[in-house]
C-alpha cells in the first residue's frame, strides 16, 4: 500500500508538471503569434505558392512528355506510310530476310526493298560511269594511235629497196605487193636461164656446122633423130645463125626485164612512202558547169568573153 501511494503521488506530480509545461508552451506560442502575425500569414501563402508551382511544373512536364510522345508517334506513322507507299510504288518488289538466330534469341534482320533499289541504282550509275570512262579511254587510245600512225621515210625505203629487192615494200608494210614483185623476179630469172641455155646450144651448133672438123657434130643433137643434112649445109647454117640471134635477143630482153622489175620495186617503195602522208579527202567528185571564158593576151582585149564549160575536180 505504501508503495502504491508513493507511485500515485509521483505520478500526480509528473502529471502536474506536464500540465504546467503544456500551459507555458501554449502561452509562449500565443505570444509569438501575437508578435509575428504577418510572418505567419506570409509563410502560409508562400508555401501554397510553392506547392502550386510544383504542381504547375509537373503538369507542364507531363504535357511536354505527352507532346513528345505524340510527335514520335506521328513521325513513326509518317515513316510507316512512306515505306508502304514506296513498297506499293515498287510493285511489291520487296525482299525480307527473316533469319532466326538462336544466339540472338529470335532477333530478325529485314532488308527493305527501297534500300536495295537505291543500292541497285547506285551500282547501275557506277557501271554507267565506268562504261563511259572506258569508252572515253578507248577513244583516246584509238585517237592517239591514229595520230601516231606509221609514216615511212621515203629515203630509207628507197635504200632498202636498192639493197634488197622487196625491202622497201616490207619497210612500208605493203606486204601484199611482195608476191607481185617476187613473181616478176622469178619469171625474169626463168626466161633469162632458158634463153641463155638455148643461146649456148645454138651457138655451139653454129660453130660446129661452120668448121670443117668431122668430129664436131653437136648440131646433130638439135636435129630430129636420124635426120641427114647432106647437101643442106648452107640452109642449116642460116637456120642455126637465126636461132642463135633469136635467143640472144630474148636473153638480153630477159636481163632488161629483170632490171626493170628491180627498178620498179624501188620506185614503188619510194612513191608509196612519199604518198603515205598525203591527205586524200573522202569527197572525190568532178563537176561540170557553164562559165565565161575571158580572152587572154594583150592583143585580144577588144574581144568579148566566150561561153564555155568549166570542169572542176575535188579530191
Are 165 and 275 members of one domain? yes
Domain presence at residue 42? no
Domain presence at residue 288? no
Distance CA 252, CA 246 (A): 10
Domain presence at residue 143? yes
The predicted structure's pLDDT at residue 265: 94
User: Which residue range is the domain that position 125 belongs to?
Assistant: 112-149
Are 127 and 190 members of one domain? no
Are 158 and 140 members of one domain? no
Are 205 and 266 members of one domain? yes
The predicted structure's pLDDT at residue 132: 74
Are 238 and 270 members of one domain? yes
Are 189 and 262 members of one domain? yes
What's the grid cell of residue 143? 585517237
Domain presence at residue 41? no
Are 143 and 213 members of one domain? no
The predicted structure's pLDDT at residue 76: 74
Domain presence at residue 65? no
Domain presence at residue 191? yes
Are 159 and 127 members of one domain? no
Of 97, 120, 149, at which residue does a domain stop? 149
Dihedral, CA of residue 192, residue 198, residue 201 and residue 205, to nearest 10: -130
Biggest CA pair distance of the chain: 215
pLDDT along the chain (315 residues), means of 10: 58 74 65 50 57 73 75 75 70 44 42 58 66 73 66 92 92 92 95 93 85 75 74 82 92 95 95 82 76 69 74 75
Q: Find the radius of gyration of the CA atoms of the chain.
A: 65
Element (H, E) at 311: strand 306-314
Are 206 and 176 members of one domain? yes
Are 249 and 144 members of one domain? no
Are 233 and 264 members of one domain? yes
pTM, full prediction: 0.44
Domain presence at residue 93? no
* Total count of domains within the chain: 2
The predicted structure's pLDDT at residue 120: 58
State the burial class of residue 23 (Cβ atoms within 10 Å of its Cβ: 0-12, 13-18, 19+): exposed
The predicted structure's pLDDT at residue 164: 92
Are 135 and 217 members of one domain? no
Pairing outcome for strands 306-314 and 285-293: antiparallel
Domain presence at residue 51? no
Amino acid at each position: 500500500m505504501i508503495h502504491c501511494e508513493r507511485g500515485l503521488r509521483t505520478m500526480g506530480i509528473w502529471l502536474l508538471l506536464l500540465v504546467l509545461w503544456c500551459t507555458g508552451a501554449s502561452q509562449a506560442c500565443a505570444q509569438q503569434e501575437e508578435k509575428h502575425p504577418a510572418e505567419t500569414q506570409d509563410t502560409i501563402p508562400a508555401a501554397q505558392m510553392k506547392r502550386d508551382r510544383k504542381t504547375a511544373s509537373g503538369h507542364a512536364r507531363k504535357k511536354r512528355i505527352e507532346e513528345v510522345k505524340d510527335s514520335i508517334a506521328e513521325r513513326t506513322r509518317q515513316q510507316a506510310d512512306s515505306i508502304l507507299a514506296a513498297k506499293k510504288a515498287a510493285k511489291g518488289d520487296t525482299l525480307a530476310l527473316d533469319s532466326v538466330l538462336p544466339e540472338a534469341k529470335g532477333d530478325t534482320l529485314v532488308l527493305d526493298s527501297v534500300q536495295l533499289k537505291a543500292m541497285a541504282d547506285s551500282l547501275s550509275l557506277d557501271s554507267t560511269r565506268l562504261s563511259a570512262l572506258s569508252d572515253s579511254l578507248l577513244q583516246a587510245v584509238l585517237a592517239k594511235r591514229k595520230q601516231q600512225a606509221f609514216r615511212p621515210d621515203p629515203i630509207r625505203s628507197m635504200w632498202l629497196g636498192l639493197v634488197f629487192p622487196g625491202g622497201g615494200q616490207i619497210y612500208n608494210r605493203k606486204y601484199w605487193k611482195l608476191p607481185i614483185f617476187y613473181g616478176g623476179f622469178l619469171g625474169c630469172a626463168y626466161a633469162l636461164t632458158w634463153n641463155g641455155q638455148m643461146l649456148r646450144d645454138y651457138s655451139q651448133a653454129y660453130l660446129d656446122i661452120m668448121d670443117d672438123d668431122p668430129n664436131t657434130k653437136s648440131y646433130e643433137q638439135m636435129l630430129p633423130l636420124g635426120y641427114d643434112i647432106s647437101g643442106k649445109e648452107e640452109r642449116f647454117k642460116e637456120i642455126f645463125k637465126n636461132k642463135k640471134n633469136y635467143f640472144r635477143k630474148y636473153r638480153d630482153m630477159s636481163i632488161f626485164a629483170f632490171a626493170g622489175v628491180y627498178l620498179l620495186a624501188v620506185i614503188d617503195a619510194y612513191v608509196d612512202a612519199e604518198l603515205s602522208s598525203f591527205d586524200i579527202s573522202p569527197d572525190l567528185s568532178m563537176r561540170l558547169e557553164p562559165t565565161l571564158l575571158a580572152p587572154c593576151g594583150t592583143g585580144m582585149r577588144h574581144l568579148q568573153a566566150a561561153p564555155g564549160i568549166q570542169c572542176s575536180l575535188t579530191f
